[in-house]
């Protein structure tokens, strides 16, 4: 059956499609009809546009979404650099990258030091090229976390789109546009600028890989002679539906007292003063201060605001987070002889390199379970020197060109073969 049998069952609703124009409202009537920014949006909401591309990008590449929220995103205090060590480590890692032609391999990354980390503080930069300030290149991360993000926090990256690939443990991701349950054998993409919060479903440590695309957005690869279907099909990508929290009532001051109230207060001033003090104390206890963390050129900045960032009641557009079940990938291969190029395993591609057709800033490729039936053909993947760097992780099982087990290529580990570094099956294979 072309679907993964997940131990954690789905709990959210979604919209199906890739690069589609979606609309969703958590309250009926929240979306304006026939226009984007009416003088008075329905339900007293604020209209806010979220742009993922230039306004004048070609229509088939244009990424814009209109949000209809309780309060606008700009209602916060100034951002300040964080005091955490993690962003400094990642920023220093960019400055101290080693560009070497050796073949590299990492053992499974340990959970031991991650029990106090959440998803954001547990991100560790492993490899990168380019500069997010110039919107060029990419960064590759390993993440490990042992606890939920604080429910009164949210995170977004101004540097790029983040592709999340869980290897161990389920992620419950709440975004401004709705919720995603992302389990091992699923991937998720959180576009640049969209705020989110990550919780651990099982309460157990999580681990996985992530790729941040500083330039452009992920797209489905062209199929060419394959035809109209195959590889990752657009219908299998899932986008969230609108879901919001309304906590603004305790933040906004109410109307002033009317004449009757003023007279009553005058008659019982002492009692009213005591009640007011008690109400003020209770309101202060209920008052929530939300912390927003932004990643900006590999450094983290924080601000606070007295209202939830997850207050989008409705949205419509082409710029949104999404997820995909890797078990639905329609794998293709040779039924005669030889191995086709590994590009036939591409799930998602970044934009073309310098506008050159047939190239990509990054390709996300998987080697799923499949039949190898080629006749009189060297069974493992052939030896190779590549014009692209290849970073590989392992979600489960084994890889048919590398020995598994202790000291070999294990789930949760990684390898990197840089440009023109020779690689291929090991001697035992």
Catalytic machinery residues: 339, 384, 390, 417, 423
3-state secondary structure of 409: coil
Q: Give yes or no for a contact between 76 and 108, defined as CB atoms under 8 angstroms apart.
A: no
* CA-wise closest residue to 223 among 215, 212, 235, 234: 234
3-state secondary structure 231-256: ECCHHHEEEECCCCCCCHHHCCCCCC
Place of tokens 């954001």: 120
Taking phi first (over 0 means left), then psi (-120 to 50 degrees means alpha), and beta for anything else, what does residue 261 get? alpha
* C-alpha pair distances (Å), 262 with each of 91, 269, 278: 58, 10, 18
How far is it, in rounded angstroms, from Cα 190 to Cα 161?
6
* CA-wise closest residue to 286 among 317, 318, 250, 253: 250
3-state secondary structure of 105: strand
Within 254-343, where are the H helices? 259-267, 269-286
């Amino acid at each position: 059956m072309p679907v993964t049998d997940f131990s954690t069952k789905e709990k959210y609703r979604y919209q199906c499609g890739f690069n589609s124009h979606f609309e969703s409202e958590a309250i009926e009537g929240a979306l304006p009809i026939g226009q984007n920014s009416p003088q008075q949006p329905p339900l007293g909401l604020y209209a806010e546009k979220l742009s993922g591309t230039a306004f004048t990008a070609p229509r088939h590449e244009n990424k814009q979404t209109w949000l209809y929220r309780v309060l606008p995103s700009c209602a916060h205090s100034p951002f300040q650099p964080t005091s955490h060590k993690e962003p400094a480590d990642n920023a220093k890692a960019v400055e101290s990258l080693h560009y070497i032609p050796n073949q590299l391999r990492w053992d499974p990354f340990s959970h031991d030091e991650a029990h106090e980390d959440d998803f954001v503080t547990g991100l560790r930069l492993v490899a990168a090229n380019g500069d997010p300030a110039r919107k060029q290149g990419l960064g590759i991360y390993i993440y490990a976390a042992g606890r939920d993000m604080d429910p009164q926090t949210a995170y977004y990256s101004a540097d790029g789109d983040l592709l999340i690939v869980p290897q161990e443990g389920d992620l419950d991701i709440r975004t401004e546009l709705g919720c995603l349950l992302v389990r091992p054998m699923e991937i998720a993409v959180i576009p640049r600028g969209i705020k989110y919060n990550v919780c651990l479903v099982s309460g157990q440590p999580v681990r996985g890989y992530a790729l941040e695309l500083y330039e452009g957005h992920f797209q489905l690869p062209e199929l060419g002679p394959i035809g109209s279907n195959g590889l990752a099909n657009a219908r299998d990508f899932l986008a969230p539906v609108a879901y919001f929290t309304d906590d603004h009532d305790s933040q906004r001051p109410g109307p002033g007292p009317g004449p009757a109230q003023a007279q009553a207060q005058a008659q019982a001033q002492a009692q009213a003063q005591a009640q007011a003090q008690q109400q003020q104390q209770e309101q202060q206890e209920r008052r929530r201060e939300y912390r927003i963390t932004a990643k900006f050129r590999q450094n983290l900045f924080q601000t606070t605001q007295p209202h939830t960032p997850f207050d989008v009641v409705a949205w419509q557009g082409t710029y949104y987070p999404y997820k995909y079940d890797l078990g639905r990938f329609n794998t293709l291969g040779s039924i005669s002889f030889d191995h086709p190029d590994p590009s036939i395993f591409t799930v998602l591609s970044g934009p073309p390199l310098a506008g050159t057709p047939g190239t990509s800033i990054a390709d996300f490729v998987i080697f799923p379970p499949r039949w190898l039936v080629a006749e009189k053909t060297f069974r493992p993947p052939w030896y190779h020197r590549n014009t692209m760097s290849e970073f590989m992780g392992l979600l489960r099982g084994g890889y048919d060109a590398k020995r598994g087990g202790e000291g070999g290529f294990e789930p949760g580990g990684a390898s990197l073969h840089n440009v023109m570094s020779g690689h291929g099956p090991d001697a035992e294979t």
